[in-house]
Amino acid sequence: MSTFRVVITDHGFPNLKHEEDVIGAAGGELIVAQCTTTAEVIEATRDADALLVQWAPVDASVIAELKQCKVIVRYGIGVDNVDLGAAKDRGIPVCNIPDYGVHEVAEHAVSLGLALARQLPMIDARLRAGIWKIVPDRPMPSLSEMTLATAGFGRIARAAHTMMSGFGGKRIAYDPFVSADVMEKMGVKKVQIDELFKEADIMSLHLPLTDETKHMVNAERLASMKKTAIVVNTARGPLIDTVALAAALESEEIAAAGIDVFEDEPLPDDHPLRTAKHALLTSHVAWYSESSIPRLQQLAAEEVVRGLQGDDLKNQVNK
């Protein structure tokens, strides 16, 4: 007989072999739902000992109905769909999996920045339109002369800095929670937020979404950037006021933007970013590789078992 019940509220994985193996080996029962509404989540999870959540809403009304839940684990990094405060009030730890796709997201951010710095989408479009020129239409400095700036200096930002270090150039970062000494060891200069925007040639965002960081990239900050600057976002969509970003691209206030995450997903058909000049858009795929999915599933299942067995949790976000 199983000793605990783990409910997967929803998922988009090809199979659940990793969860079945890890939870089964610990003596648990895995129950799989595909909830999209709070009512469906309440019905599926009321008697659960643990939740594994991908996109389903786990708000205060859901948490209030949980009778015996000991841990909630979110597949992925962001926990926007889980009410952290309500869970904390009930004594339920909420965990994310921040380390399953560090290299993949850093690769994607760097790839967007490099493609736009070398103007690859623009030159490709120009060639396909029948124009053959051996020089770009706009100024193109060497990467060795550019400044990579990251808003944030966590795992992904550090991986991006390591990747970019081979190109030379200057590297700077803003993160109020990381010391200048830590950054300096990686050859990165710590700066304040205004200086970050002013100096950036490639600005890559690597911050969580909070009340303070929402729309940190807005019309005023975009206006403070170089006209040759590139903005990259593989973190959280609402870090950028994307309507203001589209306007800045159209007016050539900045040079280009590479965006993988958006305030509303899928990106609405009528969103001005879809037609903005020099916008390279991808559909929230930065996290993906053939190995990142099974890694995510394995790590999430292991965190659930730790929570149920009373072991130390690795990534609790609502302490």
Nearest CA-CA partner of 10 in 24, 165, 38, 22: 38
Which residue is catalytic, options 108, 236, 278, 306? 236
Dist. CA 303–CA 301, nearest whole Å: 5
Let me know if 220 is a catalytic residue: no
Structure tokens that stand for 3 in this block: 């000793």
Q: Where are the alpha helices (DSSP H) in the chain?
A: 17-25, 38-45, 60-65, 84-89, 102-117, 120-128, 155-165, 180-184, 193-199, 219-223, 242-250, 292-309
Instruction: Kindly report whether the peptide bond that precedes residue 266 is cis, defined as omega within 30 degrees of 0.
Output: yes
Q: d(Cα 171, Cα 191) in Å, to the nearest integer?
A: 10
Q: Cα separation of 274 and 60, whole Å? A: 35
3-state secondary structure of 300: helix
Q: Tokens 């926990």 sit at which residue?
A: 79
Is residue 103 annotated as part of the catalytic site, yes or no? no
Q: Which of 215, 271, 284, 295 is catalytic?
A: 284
Pairing type for strands 94-95 and 189-190 reads unpaired
Count of residues making up the chain:
319
Which tokens go with 240? Answer: 């950028």
Q: In the annotation, is 65 catalytic?
A: no
Just list the catalytic residues: 236, 265, 284
